[in-house]
């Protein structure tokens, strides 16, 4: 269960022993400790830890794409850093619109909604400017992207077609999101079911990244002004997209897509 307020975080998170509290230094909600192991792959899910990759260029169920134009961003299979096993995918993300680079799959997509789980590690704190590290092509929105990334140094969702954000980028809204920790693996989960969008970091619900049926000021009121919208994602892309400043190096591992929540451990 989740409670939302328009001020500083007073949320109850779904992780059994974790409470969402505000970090007095950053002004954001605290991030729970990283879980130890990825959950097993449930029946009917697509799960990939990249262990079957045989060369430096991602292949098989994944393709490397450069939306709009190609610059200096790169995606490679990495055997030096992994959350589990011996391989991950490394993204060298560069600032600037034409440096977009993503790893794309269409596996696990369903018309009735989806849940995704991924582990991400990165080296540079989210900047003030808008950046994206995960995107889904939304066939219910003219093929525009539903984007997960950051702004104002905290995680956010962004709807490409109208630039609506979750949470709203007010101080009170941003305070109900969390940063993406640097130099450590973080479990990121999200679920898209009908009009609801929910996000968990290391197993804990993030109040500022949750769309439900009731508009809440500073969180999803802006998002819900478009009535009747039901996302229909056709792919999942992991990588880096910067709309101005903001280089980052990221690793992704243990990706899972399923019709029900997968969990971190």
When comparing pLDDT for 24 and 28, which is higher?
Answer: 28
Say if residues 151 and 169 touch (Cβ distance below 8 Å): yes
What string of DSSP letters covers 132-190? EEEEEEBGGGTTPEEEEEEETTEEEEEETTTTEEES-SSHHHHTTS----SSS-EEEEE
pLDDT at 19 over 70: no
Of the listed ranges 6-15, 76-85, 102-111, 160-169, the least confidently predicted one is 6-15
Tokens coding 262: 């997968």
User: Model confidence at 29, in pLDDT bands (50, 70, 90)?
Assistant: low
- Confidence (pTM): 0.87
Q: What is the per-residue pLDDT for 23? A: 43
pLDDT of residue 205: 97
- Name the helix (H) or strand (E) containing 238: strand 236-242
At 113, the pLDDT band (50, 70, 90 cuts) reads confident
Interior/surface letters 74-110, b for 16+ CB within 10 angstroms, e for the rest: bbbbbeeebbeeebbbbbbbbbbeebbbbbbbeebbe
In the predicted structure, residue 27 carries a pLDDT above the cut 90: no
Alpha-carbon distance of 29 to 105, in angstroms, equals: 31
Q: What is the mean pLDDT of residues 132-152?
A: 96
Q: How far apart are CA 7 and CA 263, in angstroms?
A: 29
Looking at residues 76-86, what average pLDDT do you find?
A: 96
Q: Is the pLDDT of residue 17 over 50?
A: no
Dihedral of the CA atoms 201, 157, 173, 24 (nearest 10)?
Answer: 40
* Residue 265 pLDDT: 73
- Asked whether the predicted pLDDT for residue 12 surpasses 50, the reply is no
Q: Using pLDDT thresholds of 50, 70 and 90, give the confidence band for residue 11.
A: very low
* Percent of the residues in the chain that have a pLDDT greater than 90, as a whole number: 74
| HSE-up of residue 204 (Cα within 13 Å, Cβ side) | 24
Tell whether omega for the bond before 167 is within 30 degrees of 0, i.e. cis.
Answer: yes
Predicted local confidence at residue 103, as pLDDT: 97
Which CATH code fits 46-258?
2.60.120.200
- With CA atoms as reference, report the closest residue to 151 among 133, 128, 176, 124: 128
Please tell me the predicted confidence (pLDDT) of residue 31: 63
| Least-confidence region, from 30-34, 57-61, 78-82, 212-216 | 30-34
- Percent of all residues in the chain with a pLDDT value above 70, rounded to a whole number: 85
pLDDT, tens digit (0-9, with 9 covering 90-100), for 226-251: 988 899 999 999 999 998 888 999 99
Under a CB-based contact definition with an 8 Å cutoff, are residues 23 and 226 in contact? no
Mean pLDDT calculated for residue range 52-72? 95
Mean pLDDT, the chain, whole residue set: 87
- Note the pLDDT of residue 203: 94
Indicate the burial class of 40 (C-beta count within 10 angstroms; 0-12, 13-18, 19 or more): exposed
- 159-211 pLDDT per residue, tens: 999 999 999 999 999 999 999 999 999 999 999 999 999 999 999 999 999 99
């Amino acid at each position: 269960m989740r409670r939302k307020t328009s001020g500083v975080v007073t949320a109850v998170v779904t992780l059994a022993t974790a409470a969402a509290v505000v970090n007095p230094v950053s002004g954001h909600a605290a991030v729970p400790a990283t879980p130890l192991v990825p959950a097993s792959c449930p029946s009917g899910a697509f799960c990939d830890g990249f262990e079957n990759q045989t060369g430096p260029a991602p292949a098989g169920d994944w393709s490397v794409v450069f939306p709009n134009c190609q610059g200096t961003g790169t995606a490679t299979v990495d055997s030096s850093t992994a959350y589990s096993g011996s391989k991950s995918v490394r993204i060298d993300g560069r600032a600037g619109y034409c440096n977009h680079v993503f790893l794309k799959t269409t596996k696990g997509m369903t018309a009735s909604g989806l849940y995704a789980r991924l582990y991400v590690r990165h080296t540079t704190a989210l900047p003030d400017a808008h950046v994206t590290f995960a995107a889904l092509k939304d066939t219910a929105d003219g093929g525009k992207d539903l984007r997960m990334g950051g702004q104002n140094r905290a995680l956010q969702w962004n709807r490409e077609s109208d630039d609506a954000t979750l949470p709203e980028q007010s101080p009170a809204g941003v305070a109900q999101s969390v940063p993406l920790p640097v130099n450590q693996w973080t479990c990121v989960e999200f679920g898209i079911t009908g009009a609801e969008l929910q996000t968990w970091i290391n197993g804990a619900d993030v109040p500022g990244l949750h769309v439900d049926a009731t508009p809440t000021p500073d969180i999803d009121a802006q998002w819900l002004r478009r009535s009747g919208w039901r996302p229909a994602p056709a792919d999942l892309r992991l990588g880096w997209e910067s709309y101005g400043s903001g280089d980052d190096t990221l690793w992704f591992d243990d990706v899972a897509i399923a019709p029900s929540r997968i969990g971190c451990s």
